[in-house]
């Protein structure tokens, strides 16, 4: 029954994606992050929904009149476009090219759709819709996982949807922590009290679910996120109380096995999982030092580890967004990856410093603050996870790039010189800021 309902909805939505490509872009984002087709068990489970909506949305974008200039969108997204171009080079020279190329194709589709989405973010309303889509797509699993953790006393691990980027408990945890500051932003954007309470409850349950994953990286990420969130929010007393309550919940509610796992952060030398991470990190460094193009996507296998790993029998994925970029694409790839996130961070900083006035500008500045908190969660939690290609962080960066452009347009409009004729047939140009002054 689920297959029929979901398929009927998506098939009806396909022509709408062509007629209204922004709608198609939001469906594509939902499919990539929420993965509703993974809730089914029949034919809908493996249907290429994302590809179908990508084609429909791109086709619609080619003919829609209301869109951002293409060169502007490409310029904003340039560091990642250069990264993907370099990834094509590394795939061609990969240790296992027959595995690298299919993975490159999967990743490049995500970034093509990020550019398409950036082309379609023509006003602040659409930016808000994008934030709603990516936030609620992850928060769904946080609400569900938080309730599960409370009902089971934290005895069992919380996992993400099967065959997705956040299937692993550690990956899901970082995604949930990234979502918390965005839920705070949404809470301030709604007027109804019940929605404000719902957003706050969702944020709390996402935090509980993140703890319920028993992820050590999540504990570090949530600590960094909470501290930065407190610093960034205006109501520091309210936020501080919430953080203290969460800390109290962790101390008194989480079971002994949770604390035993967290204890291995301090005694990592005795933990096989932690030592496996160190082994694969050293492998990535050795590959990058030997091959300027790195090992290419999906180099994780016996061929690479026998040649480059300190312990060739402990074969694991990179378990870090940084060593993932380094091992797969070499030092140039890591530099481009870091450049992209530095660009996104600086874009948020420019938005925060913008002098444009108005409700949209105020909301944009608040979004930039919360986006930085979310990025802190990603950059800290991602240090121990293989989620360098997950869709959600890149959509957040797209929202920042679009917001920065819209604020700049408003700023230019506010100082745009206007031609005015005054007595004596003298024509002068008066800027917006001079309109209330005598000439």
Query: Which secondary-structure segment (H or E) carries 418?
Result: strand 418-422
List Cα–Cα distances, 243 to 175, 178, 327, in angstroms: 18, 15, 37
Greatest extent of the chain over all pairs of C-alpha atoms, in Å? 89
Mean pLDDT, residues 86-93 taken together: 96
Mean pLDDT, residues 223-238 taken together: 82
d(CA 391, CA 34): 11
Q: Is the pLDDT of residue 323 over 80?
A: yes
Question: Both tokens of residue 344?
Answer: 């996104």
Q: What is the pLDDT of residues 384-429, one digit of tens each?
A: 888 899 999 999 999 999 999 999 988 887 766 554 444 554 444 5
Rounded to an integer, what is the distance from CA 400 to the centroid of its chain?
A: 11
Query: What pLDDT does residue 416 have?
Result: 60
Which residue, among 245, 222, 200, 230, has the nearest Cα to 370 in the 3D structure?
Answer: 230
Cβ neighbour number for residue 96 with a 10 Å cutoff: 18
Q: Are β-strands 426-430 and 418-422 bridged in parallel, bridged antiparallel, or unpaired?
A: antiparallel
Q: At what angle do helices 359-381 and 216-232 cross, to 10 degrees?
A: 150
Query: Which secondary-structure segment (H or E) carries 210?
Result: helix 193-212
Question: Both tokens of residue 148?
Answer: 């599960």
249/20: higher pLDDT = 20
The pLDDT-based confidence of 108 (bands split at 50, 70, 90) is very high
164: DSSP letter: S
Query: What pLDDT does residue 215 have?
Result: 80
Query: What pLDDT does residue 228 have?
Result: 82
Q: Is the pLDDT of residue 433 over 50?
A: no
Cβ contact 205:179 at 8 Å: no
Question: Both tokens of residue 83?
Answer: 């990264």
């Amino acid at each position: 029954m689920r297959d029929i309902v979901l398929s009927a909805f998506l098939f009806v939505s396909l022509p709408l994606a062509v007629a209204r490509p922004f709608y198609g872009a939001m469906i594509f984002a939902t499919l990539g992050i929420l993965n509703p087709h993974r809730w089914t068990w029949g034919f809908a489970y493996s249907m290429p929904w994302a590809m179908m909506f990508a084609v429909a949305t791109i086709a619609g974008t080619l003919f829609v009149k209301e869109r951002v200039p293409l060169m502007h969108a490409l310029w904003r997204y340039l560091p990642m476009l250069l990264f993907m171009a370099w990834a094509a080079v590394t795939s061609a020279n990969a240790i296992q090219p027959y595995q690298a190329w299919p993975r490159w194709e999967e990743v490049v589709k995500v970034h093509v759709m990020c550019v398409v989405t950036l082309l379609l973010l023509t006003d602040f309303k659409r930016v808000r819709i994008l934030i709603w889509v990516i936030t609620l797509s992850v928060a769904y699993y946080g609400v569900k996982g938080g309730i599960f953790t409370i009902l089971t006393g934290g005895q069992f691990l919380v996992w993400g949807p099967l065959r997705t980027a956040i299937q692993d408990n550690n990956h899901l945890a970082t995604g949930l922590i990234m979502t918390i500051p965005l839920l705070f932003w949404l809470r301030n954007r709604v007027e109804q009290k019940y929605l404000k309470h719902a957003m706050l409850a969702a944020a709390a349950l996402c935090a509980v679910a993140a703890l319920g994953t028993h992820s050590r990286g999540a504990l570090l990420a949530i600590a960094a996120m909470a501290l930065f969130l407190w610093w960034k929010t205006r109501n520091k007393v309210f936020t501080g109380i919430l953080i203290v309550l969460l800390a109290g919940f962790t101390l008194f509610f989480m079971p002994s096995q949770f604390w035993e796992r967290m204890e291995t952060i301090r005694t990592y030398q005795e933990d096989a999982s932690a030592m496996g991470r160190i082994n694969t990190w050293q492998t990535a460094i050795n590959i990058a030092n030997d091959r300027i193009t790195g090992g290419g996507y999906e180099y994780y296998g016996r061929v690479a580890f026998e040649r480059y790993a300190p312990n060739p029998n402990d074969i694991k994925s990179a378990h870090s967004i940084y060593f993932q970029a380094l091992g797969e694409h070499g030092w140039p790839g890591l530099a481009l990856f870091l450049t992209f996130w530095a660009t996104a961070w600086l874009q948020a900083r420019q938005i925060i410093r913008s002098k444009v006035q108005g409700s949209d500008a105020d909301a944009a500045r608040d979004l930039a603050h919360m986006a930085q908190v979310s990025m802190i969660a990603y950059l800290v939690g991602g240090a121990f996870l293989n989620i360098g290609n997950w869709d959600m962080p890149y959509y957040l960066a797209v929202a920042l790039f679009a917001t920065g452009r819209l604020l700049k347009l408003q700023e230019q409009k506010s100082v745009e010189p206007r031609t005015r004729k005054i007595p004596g047939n003298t024509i002068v140009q008066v800027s917006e800021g001079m309109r209330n002054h005598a000439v």
